Structure 1
Amino acid sequence: MNFDVAVVGGGVNGLFTALDLALRGFSVILLERGAIGSGTSGRMHGLLHSGARYAVTDPKAAIECIEENRTIAKIAPHAIEDTGGYFVAVTKEDVDFMEQFLKGLKQANIEYREVDPKEALKEEPNLNPNIRAVVEVPDKVVFARDLMFSVAISAYREGVLVIQDAEVTGFNINNNEVNEILVKDRLTGNVRSIKAKIVAIAAGPWTYKVVKLAGIEVEMMPTMGVMVVYQRRLTRRVINRMRKPSDGDILVPYGSTSIMGTTAVVIEDPDNISISDDDIKFLTSEGSQMVPLLTKTSVIRAYASVRPLIKIPGVDTREATRDFMVIKHEKPSNMVTVIGGKFTTGRLVGERLSDEVAKMLGSTKSSITRDYKLFGANLYEDLGELDGSLRSLALSFRGSIDEDRGRVAVLTLLMDEVARDSRRRLGWL
């Protein structure tokens, strides 16, 4: 089968790219070496940024985040908990940062409210009773796989073949163009060939490895961040430290748990990462300055994610932009790559990457994902198009004690069916 576009990478950037391109009328195949969301996107912090964290140090990223915060809440309300967020000043240095912080919020058009610390303690009794200042911002919590599965299912409904366990192992290049993508089927071990007019690489921190197969070097700074999961939900809102972005300054209420993060360490290989006891102790200690009860709450586990940051000489991990960059390569001329970005801006990344691809294919159609209601936004209405036992099982959750938890199960079952049918249609089953 020949496609207009092959998208490499099944995280939030690749998924939104595939959906965006399909909605513009292109034939698309998405290739993911593992399962959808099994890389960086499935290991994010859980925060749908308001942009406030970057308002002082990275204003462009801040503006992108607040705009996408509003957009994702509109097109995927089922994947969002609108918790709100507090930025809290613990030390005098935090208070001194506040003037800059408020100025940055205004410039980025991020709505905020100064909150009396006594009021904040009534709302969030587990906060440090000695907090000096509080600012409320529109942070939200995003359930990563709910969102990604919804995008993948939506893309499939628009004609995209979503192929899991498909690892790109090489490119055949003739006349300065990729005319064949070599793909290892990790379920069978077979190496297969995919043909596409354009190859769009959205492989997160693995991007530099993928493009190297085509003889391309990109300047990336794979940066590992550790998150710690605690047994209880300690706050209603996201709690942020009121200071420049640093290690251990965000506590996210995720379902019935709390997630503390994060660290930032440059690594050589995103497939070779480890978490130390010191990481857990450090994050617990830092977080306890905002929420002291953290030190008395059991740790369930820790996990790590690798950010695909843009490498800029002389700039360290915390100063590095959280913006993204779309690169149209000269050799091979039909390959385009995205590096950088955040989970919050995944839809925007997909739009911008698709803009470049559409231009390369001679199309003037614009993106419509900003207003495209994702599958699952009205889950039980969306299930009406299904038939057979899967529909019966999915609908059995409706009106039950587990209706909300059932959403995850339903989307997972549908994602499995999407992956199976995509393989069937491709002739891999």
Structure 2
Amino acid sequence: MEFDVAVIGGGINGLFTALDMSLRGLKVVLLERGSIGGGTSGRMHGLLHSGARYVVTDPKAAIECAEENRIIARIAPHAVDDTGGYFVAITKDDLDFQEEFISGLRRANIDYREVDARDAAREEPNLNPEVKAVIEVPDKVVYARELLMSTAISAYNEGALIIQNAEVIGFDINGNEITNARVRDDATSNIRRINARVFVNAAGPWAGRIASMAGINVDIMPTMGVMVVYRHRLTRRVMNRMRPPSDGDILLPYGSESIMGTTAVIVEDPDNLAITKDDIDFLTSEGFQMVPALAKEPVVRAYASVRPLISVPCATGREVTRDFMVIKHEKPSNLVSVIGGKFTTGRLVGERIADEVSGILGANKASRTSSYVLFGADLNRDVKDLDIEAKSIIQSFRGSVDEERGLIAALSLILYQASRRGRSLLGW
């Protein structure tokens, strides 16, 4: 089969790219070396940013996050918990930052409300009683796997092939263009070839590795962030430290648990990460300053994610922008790469990549993803088009003790079926 576009990478950027281009009528295949969401996107913190965190240090990223926060909540309500968020000042330095923080919120047009510390304590009984000031912002929690799988299934429903366990290991290049991607089929260990007019490198922290296969350099700063999961949900809202972005300043309620994050350490190999007891102790200590009950809370586990930040000489992981960059390469001329960005802005990244690819292919349809309600948002609507096995599983959860958990089980099955069908259509 020949495709208009082959997308490499099944994280948030690649999935929304595949959906956006499928909605424009292009023939798309997405290649993911493991499972959808198995890389950076499936290991994110859980925060759907309001943009408030970046209003002082990274205002462009703040404005993008603010708009995408509203869009994701609208197109994927099943994957979003509208918790709201508090920014809390604990020390004098935090309090001194408040005026600059509020000015940034106003410039970015982000809704906020100053909350009396006593009222905040009544709303959040576990909040540090020494808190000096509180600002409320529209932070939300996003359930990563639900959103990723819903986007993948939506892209599949619009005609894209979603192929899991398909690792790109090289390219065939003729003159100034890639003709084929060489793909290792992990199910059989066979080497396959995928032909496309344009190739999109959306491999996150592995994007530099993919680009090197085409003989070009893409500067990625792979930056590891550690998160710690605690047994109980200690707050109703997201808790942020009122200071410039730094390590250990966000405590997030995720379902019945709490997640504290995060760190920022530049790493050489995104496949080789080490989490230490010091990481866990540090994050717990920082979280304790906002929510003292965290110090006595059992740790369930810790995990790490690698951000594909734009490389800046002599900068640390905290100094680098959380904005993204779409690169149309001159040679090979049919390769487009993306670096940077956040989970919150994944839909926007997909739109910008699709605009670039459409220009290459001479397609003139506009993006529709900002108003496209994803699969899973309304199962009464979506279930009609499912096969009997998937429909039966969804219906079996209704009225049961685990009804709320049924969606992710159903999405997993449907995505598995979609990937198998894609393999069959490719003759794999």
Distance 1:350 1:249 in 2: 29
Match in the other structure for 2:251: 251
Distance 2:125 2:355 in 1: 47
How big is the shift at 1:427? 1.1
Distance 1:410 1:332 in 2: 40
- Structure 2 spans left out of the alignment, 5+ residues: none
TM-score by length of 1: 0.99
Match in the other structure for 2:425: 425
Cα shift readout 1:156-214 (whole Å, capped 9, x = no counterpart) = 00010000000000001011100011000011110010100000010000000011001
Match in the other structure for 1:11: 11
Query: Which stretches of structure 1, 4 residues or more, deviate above 4 A after TM superposition?
Result: none
Match in the other structure for 2:107: 107
**SS of match in other structure, 2:118:** helix
Code of the aligned partner of 1:26? L
Match in the other structure for 1:152: 152
Cα shift readout 1:377-405 (whole Å, capped 9, x = no counterpart) = 10232111123232112112223332211
**SS of match in other structure, 2:389:** helix
Match in the other structure for 2:358: 358
Match in the other structure for 1:121: 121
Structural mapping, 1:17-416, within 5 Å: 17-416=17-416
Distance 1:124 1:72 in 2: 26
Code of the aligned partner of 2:183? V
Distance 2:7 2:416 in 1: 19
**SS of match in other structure, 2:135:** strand
Distance 2:14 2:298 in 1: 36
How big is the shift at 1:421? 1.1
CA contact (8 A) 1:230 1:258 kept: yes
Distance 2:358 2:163 in 1: 22
Cα shift readout 1:94-138 (whole Å, capped 9, x = no counterpart) = 000000000000000100000000000000000101000000000
Distance 1:381 1:9 in 2: 29
**SS of match in other structure, 2:322:** coil
How big is the shift at 1:86? 0.2
**SS of match in other structure, 1:369:** coil
State percent identity of aligned pairs. Answer: 67
Code of the aligned partner of 1:398? R
How big is the shift at 1:301? 0.2
**SS of match in other structure, 1:155:** helix
How big is the shift at 1:342? 0.3
Distance 1:413 1:172 in 2: 34
How big is the shift at 1:220? 1.2
TM-score by length of 2: 0.99
**SS of match in other structure, 1:373:** coil
Distance 2:143 2:389 in 1: 26
Distance 1:46 1:145 in 2: 10
Distance 1:390 1:357 in 2: 34
In the comparison of the two structures, how many residue pairs are matched?
428
CA contact (8 A) 1:4 1:28 kept: yes
CA contact (8 A) 1:380 1:395 kept: no
How big is the shift at 1:364? 1.5
Distance 1:390 1:251 in 2: 36
**SS of match in other structure, 2:20:** helix
Worse-matched range after superposition: 129-138 or 397-406: 397-406
RMSD: 0.7
Distance 2:347 2:426 in 1: 26
CA contact (8 A) 1:228 1:261 kept: yes
Distance 1:149 1:362 in 2: 30
Cα shift readout 1:248-280 (whole Å, capped 9, x = no counterpart) = 000010001000000000000101111000000
Distance 2:387 2:208 in 1: 42
CA contact (8 A) 1:380 1:398 kept: no
Distance 2:223 2:311 in 1: 10
Cα shift readout 1:300-339 (whole Å, capped 9, x = no counterpart) = 0000000000011232211110000000001101000000
Distance 2:412 2:215 in 1: 37
Code of the aligned partner of 1:388? I
How big is the shift at 1:425? 1.2
Code of the aligned partner of 2:117? P
- Structure 1 spans left out of the alignment, 5+ residues: none
